[in-house]
Structure 1
């Protein structure tokens, strides 16, 4: 039985859990002033994830979904 656990957090949290994630959904909002914050602060290896979906809104915001690659 597959169970889903939805967690919400920032760059530190996502980076710390990268090895445990099966799916990662990133919400990106455009920054008008300043440099913003990085997506990941903790050491992580997001290359084990594959882009599986993306959506761009009229406001410039995006939602990008990555899923863990099957190791066969």
Structure 2
């Protein structure tokens, strides 16, 4: 018998040079809805784009990349 398993989604982002994972607030939400949800906490996400998915370690990973320039 064939079984299907949904892999958990993980959302990665960088803030102040540190990369970290954000939990999936609702697996039914689109990737864009998750990004808008977290934009309240991380304002840089308002101008970010989602990259992915990429399957790594039995998770489906999306990366939120900001499109703003960096100071340097």
Same fold (TM over 0.5): no
- Give the number of the structure with larger relative contact order, counting CA–CA contacts within 8 Å between residues 6 or more apart: 1
Question: TM-score normalised to the size of structure 2?
Answer: 0.29
From the two aligned structures, give the one with the greater strand fraction: 2
Question: TM-score normalised to the size of structure 1?
Answer: 0.29
